Amino acid sequence: MSTGARRGCGHEPLDLLQLNTRVWVRQLAVARLGEVPDAVLDAIAADGFDLVWLMGVWAPSVRAAEVARSHPDLQAEYRRALDDLTPEDVVASPYAIARYEVSPLLGGAGDLAALRARLRARGVGLILDFVPNHTACDHPAVSASPEHFMLAQADAPASETFVGAPGGPRIFCGRDPYFPPWTDTAQRDHRRHSSRRALVDELARVAEQCDGVRCDMAMLLLNDVVERTWQRAGVVAPPAHDLAQGEFWPMAIDAVRARRPDFLFLAEAYWGTGPRLRQLGFDYTYDKESYDALLAGDGAALTHHLAGAGGAPAVRFIENHDEPRAASHFPADLHRVAALVALTLPGVRLMHQGQREGARRKLPVQLGRAPVEPVDGALATFYRELRALVADPVLRAGRWQLLSPQPAWHGNGSHAGFVTCAWDRTGSGAGGAGHRLLVANLAAHRAQCRISLAALPGLAGRRVAVREIFAAGDSPSGDAATADGRPVYLRDGDELAGAGLFVELPARTAQVCAVEPTS
């Protein structure tokens, strides 16, 4: 598989499936990655996924497992996820990495390499985690090269530090500026050139084992974030001869791309740092802003955000391991509309393990077993049909455009609840040419709008059929219907390009329509 040909803005979207590897293997009732059945991989490919993100393949940290089992605040989270929790269910966090070696409990490096080859044979790439901000407290470098970590002076708070080795210096636990320290981790010192160089070497070894990396909390390595987080009392300053110059990410990304030009870099990024990280070399960055607007049912906020960043190469989602389960967090009708919007936007469209089946319990990353939950049959059917929709060649290869919903009549402000966009594919490639239109009412009330389709060529002066091909929620009646009962709206092309298509939708419903000139 080559991902480079589809990297960045203007290329086909990529569909990414996130799997909690330790849980996934257990659910499959196999002992190691090499025993994953071919039928499972066949189903992933048949579902149209371009990439699989295996979270938690690296060797577990003994120290992090001890912290996970003794941390009092985590116990309640564990029991909310597992009613029948046992001590054996609690494992090390996959984001406290002791070393970038595949866990022997999963079969080791050989099993991962074989699984990667089997995925590649099916046209599916492999994404793995890279955690650059911190390591496990028992990472070998903590003892061998403590100067690569954020060293603490004698007056630093004991609750935020630990001693890495007998007789060694105190080291700060990993953190971001807005939360308490992660006490199972050691904070790297990104101010030091030597620390950066060691981190690039680790990244290069990871890159040999996969087709791309999801970089955990990538924005924490930005120079201004490092300064804001660590310009504080109790922190040992690095020596002048070891001060790093410039930003870390261009050096790291360029080092990998020198050998792997098609290697993908995905950034977990918050606080509006996505554009900066893309400028520094990342292919895709998290789009938390879209998630927040979808969860709020705020069509105006989402339209405003997409107007500035809609075509940006972003990772879109309504669920991942850090967020609550969509089936429990979104109202049921909004869940479907949000999934339809998020999984048809440009960029990387992320689907989380259990999302399609309607799993409702958020699993802490320190657990190695998931609860057995009933499958939501109606939701599973919806997602199965949605997966078929996003395989439409017009949606995959067409030119995406954000449209601007306008008031249906003077004084009607309900158009603010809509998000509307279109795809236009010309030529004679696989699947042929065509237009697609998405109209989604995120609001909790019925709404009306007009949508100009002037950007879609070939409509003026012709009779046009706007034919529903997918719906989230109840479909309004049309002028006619297809054989399966879906509505068809017959309109004048000049009106569509001028005053625009009139749309009225019930609360939290959406349609995807094919727009087809008929004469």
pLDDT tens, residue by residue, 294-332: 999 999 999 999 998 767 899 999 999 999 999 999 999
pLDDT in tens, 358-385: 999 999 999 999 999 999 999 999 999 9
Same domain, 399 and 388: no
Q: pLDDT at position 5, please?
A: 38
Q: Is residue 2 part of a domain?
A: no
What is the rounded average pLDDT of the residues 39-53? 98
User: Which residues does 281 contact at the CB level (< 8 Å), separation at least 6?
Assistant: 249, 250, 253, 254, 257, 265
Domain that holds residue 457: 395-517
Q: pLDDT at position 12, please?
A: 84
- pTM across the whole model: 0.95
Confidence of residue 481 (pLDDT cuts 50, 70, 90): confident
Confidence of residue 432 (pLDDT cuts 50, 70, 90): low
Same domain, 239 and 361: yes
Q: Is residue 8 part of a domain?
A: no
What is the rounded average pLDDT of the residues 271-300? 97
Q: What sign does the dihedral 281-284-288-294 (CA atoms) show? A: positive
Q: pLDDT at position 454, please?
A: 94
Return the closest-CA partner of residue 277 out of 317, 250, 311: 250
How does the average pLDDT of the chain come out, rounded? 94
- The percent of residues in the chain predicted with pLDDT above 90, rounded, is 90
Question: For residue 182, how many C-alpha atoms fall within 13 Å in the half-sphere facing its CB?
Answer: 25
What is the rounded average pLDDT of the residues 288-296? 98
Q: CA 504 to CA 446: how far, in whole Å?
A: 7
Q: pLDDT at position 7, please?
A: 47
Q: pLDDT at position 310, please?
A: 64
What is the rounded average pLDDT of the residues 79-99? 96
Q: Is 277 exposed, middle or buried (0-12, 13-18, 19+ CB in 10 A)?
A: buried
Same domain, 298 and 363: yes
* CATH assignment of the domain containing 224: 3.20.20.80
Q: pLDDT at position 427, please?
A: 65
* Domain end point (choices 352, 371, 393): 393
Q: Is residue 187 part of a domain?
A: yes
- Residue carrying the six token digits 């998405």: 438
Q: pLDDT at position 431, please?
A: 55
Q: Is residue 451 part of a domain?
A: yes
Confidence of residue 72 (pLDDT cuts 50, 70, 90): confident
Q: pLDDT at position 426, please?
A: 82
Structural domains of the chain, count: 2
* CATH assignment of the domain containing 466: 2.60.40.1180
Same domain, 387 and 446: no
Same domain, 378 and 406: no
Strand partners, 18: 53, 352
Query: Residue 420: what are its φ and ψ, rounded to 5°?
Result: -135, 140
Return the closest-CA partner of residue 286 out of 33, 16, 3: 16
Return the closest-CA partner of residue 235 out of 157, 175, 178: 157
Confidence of residue 485 (pLDDT cuts 50, 70, 90): confident
Same domain, 96 and 229: yes
Q: pLDDT at position 6, please?
A: 42
Q: pLDDT at position 9, please?
A: 44
Same domain, 413 and 496: yes
Alpha carbon 45 to its chain centroid, in Å, reads 19
* Domain end point (choices 361, 378, 393): 393
Per-residue CA distances from 213 to 257, 292, 440 (Å): 12, 24, 33
Q: Is the pLDDT of residue 120 over 60?
A: yes
Q: pLDDT at position 233, please?
A: 87
Q: Is residue 3 part of a domain?
A: no
Same domain, 357 and 437: no
Q: Is residue 447 part of a domain?
A: yes
Q: Is the pLDDT of residue 335 over 60?
A: yes
Same domain, 72 and 150: yes
Q: CA 271 to CA 48: how far, in whole Å?
A: 31
Same domain, 359 and 400: no
Contact 276, 245 (CB under 8 A): no
* Domain end point (choices 393, 418, 437): 393
pLDDT in tens, 413-430: 999 999 999 999 986 555
What is the rounded average pLDDT of the residues 103-115? 97
Q: Is residue 7 part of a domain?
A: no
Q: pLDDT at position 477, please?
A: 79
Q: pLDDT at position 74, please?
A: 92
Same domain, 416 and 371: no
Q: Is residue 56 part of a domain?
A: yes
Q: pLDDT at position 240, please?
A: 97
Query: Residue 58: what are its φ and ψ, rounded to 5°?
Result: -80, 155
Q: Is the pLDDT of residue 224 over 60?
A: yes
Same domain, 235 and 325: yes
